[in-house]
């Protein structure tokens, strides 16, 4: 473990004996680059994946890229390794983890029943950003499912993530690689900033394609229910499964009710995905922002309409940083967390975010913004 010495000076000015200060080492940051249309990875990528797999086999944690957000991975069948995930994240033991599999046949070793709906969903969207909640098999350690009888399964879209699972020869439990309740990481740098020396290795696969967490579909109820909106929409699920599925918004009232009862998806707590800077979601930011600026607050404004004269007029105000946000939901989703991570470093007093459209294609973004604003 590297150490350095500090030389404390006593009240009389004499230098006292050096006191060693131990700092845990920073994690190994290994780049991986595996384009989807290439059969075998380059040697550096292959070596990084092999080293990461070895860590998983040895019960250690590795932060990994996925097409949604970065995950904090452990061998899902190793309860001690999974316990470290909860510890490193500061995650409540009542919040179950998603188990990542390399393919459908690995998924079926983890379930006591494979519902027809899960089969249809997997056929349509795996590998990809869809998690199915299904009845769990006894082999899945209770810590993974927070003692529940269901398990959340996902086959990730990146070929490198699937190869890692194959190399480790185990399903991989992986929540987002951030401290509990914080904004999920969409780059290796975000993981480093959030978890730093709490972990030993980060695989750096570049920025995540979707930038928001997977859609979570409960396949143990009929009709199946979206527990967390994400990149796969209700309309896409309805079409693939042949059953009408509604976009679940978990709006404030419903969430609050839900929290009083037993939550179906315990991680869907009210406050989540929140930056450190207080975030206000506003239907009328052109009125709110000048008011806050006049009160002396330093404001970051995630504006949906930066081209509007009213916004442009305000943009020159001292203490105001206007961040133009994309107009389409896919690009907005991809950049949202990265924007929040970046603005959190600016020492601002408040972030004001323009409310996004009420259409279903904005459901996932709207869901995350609501939680971040709580
Ligand atoms: O895109 C993703 O899903 C990312 C990447 C890393 O795969 N993972 C992720 O994990 O977002 P996490 O732990 O941050 O969120 C998992 C969500 C939580 O809301 C959790 O409560 C829910 O899935 N969940 C997990 N197991 C469940 C279960 N058996 N029943 C219901 N909800 C479950
Ligand atoms: Mg998370």
Partnered with residue 132 across adjacent β-strands are 153, 217
**Ligand 1 proximity of 69 Cβ (cutoff 6 Å):** yes
Tally the residues of the chain: 374
Confidence of residue 7 (pLDDT cuts 50, 70, 90): very low
- Please enumerate in sequence order all residues whose Cβ is within 8 A of that of 217, keeping only pairs 6 or more positions apart, or say none: 121, 130, 131, 132, 133, 224, 225, 226, 227, 237, 245
Segment 278-305 mean pLDDT = 96
C-alpha 312/C-alpha 315 separation (Å) is 5
- For residue 58, CA distances in Å to 61, 185, 261, 316 come to 9, 25, 39, 55
Range with lowest mean pLDDT among 71-80, 241-250, 362-371: 241-250
Q: Is the dihedral of CA 104, 247, 350, 342 positive or negative?
A: positive
- Please identify, by atom number, the ligand 1 atom nearest to the C-alpha of residue 154: 7
- Range 254-267 burial, b when 16+ CB lie within 10 A, else e: ebeebeeeebbbbb
Among 265, 269, 270, 367, name the best residue to mutate to test ligand 1's pocket (greatest count of ligand atoms within 8 A of Cβ).
265
**Ligand 1 proximity of 161 Cβ (cutoff 6 Å):** no
**Ligand 1 proximity of 255 Cβ (cutoff 6 Å):** no
**Ligand 1 proximity of 186 Cβ (cutoff 6 Å):** no
How high is the pLDDT of residue 24?
Answer: 77
pTM over 0.75: yes
On whether the CB atoms of residues 174 and 195 are closer than 8 A, the answer is no
Segment 269-278 mean pLDDT = 80
Partnered with residue 178 across adjacent β-strands are none
Task: Find the largest Cα–Cα distance for the chain.
Answer: 80
């Amino acid at each position: 473990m590297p150490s350095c010495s500090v030389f404390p000076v006593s009240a009389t000015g004499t230098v006292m004996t050096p006191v060693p200060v131990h700092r845990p080492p920073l994690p190994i940051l290994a780049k991986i680059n595996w384009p989807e249309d290439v059969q075998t990875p380059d040697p550096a990528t292959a070596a990084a994946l092999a080293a990461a797999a070895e860590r998983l086999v040895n019960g250690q944690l590795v932060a990994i890229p996925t097409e949604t957000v970065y995950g904090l991975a452990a061998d899902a069948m190793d309860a001690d390794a999974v316990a470290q995930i909860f510890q490193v994240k500061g995650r409540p033991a009542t919040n179950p983890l998603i188990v990542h599999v390399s393919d459908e046949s690995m998924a079926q070793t983890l379930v006591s029943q494979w519902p027809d709906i899960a089969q249809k969903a997997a056929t349509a969207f795996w590998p990809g950003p869809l998690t199915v909640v299904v009845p769990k098999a006894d082999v899945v350690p209770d810590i993974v499912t927070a003692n529940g009888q269901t398990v959340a399964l996902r086959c990730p879209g990146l070929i490198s993530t699937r190869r890692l699972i194959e190399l480790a020869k185990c399903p991989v439990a992986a929540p987002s690689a951030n401290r509990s309740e914080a904004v999920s990481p969409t780059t290796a740098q975000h993981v480093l900033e959030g978890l730093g020396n709490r972990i030993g290795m980060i695989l750096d696969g570049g920025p995540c394609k979707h930038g928001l967490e997977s859609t979570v579909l409960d396949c143990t109820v009929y009709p199946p229910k979206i527990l967390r909106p994400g990149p796969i929409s209700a309309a896409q699920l309805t079409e693939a499964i042949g059953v009408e599925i509604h976009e679940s918004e978990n709006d404030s009232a419903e969430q609050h009710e839900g929290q009083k009862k037993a939550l179906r998806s315990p991680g869907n707590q009210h406050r989540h995905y929140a930056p450190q800077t207080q975030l206000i979601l506003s239907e009328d930011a052109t009125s709110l922002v000048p008011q806050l600026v006049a009160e002396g607050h330093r404001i970051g404004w995630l504006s949906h309409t930066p081209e509007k004269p009213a916004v442009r007029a305000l943009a020159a105000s001292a203490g105001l940083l206007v961040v133009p946000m994309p107009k389409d939901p896919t690009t907005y989703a991809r950049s949202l967390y990265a924007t929040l991570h970046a603005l959190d470093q600016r020492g601002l007093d408040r972030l004001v975010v323009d409310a996004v459209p009420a259409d279903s294609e904005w459901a996932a973004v709207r869901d995350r913004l609501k939680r971040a604003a709580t």
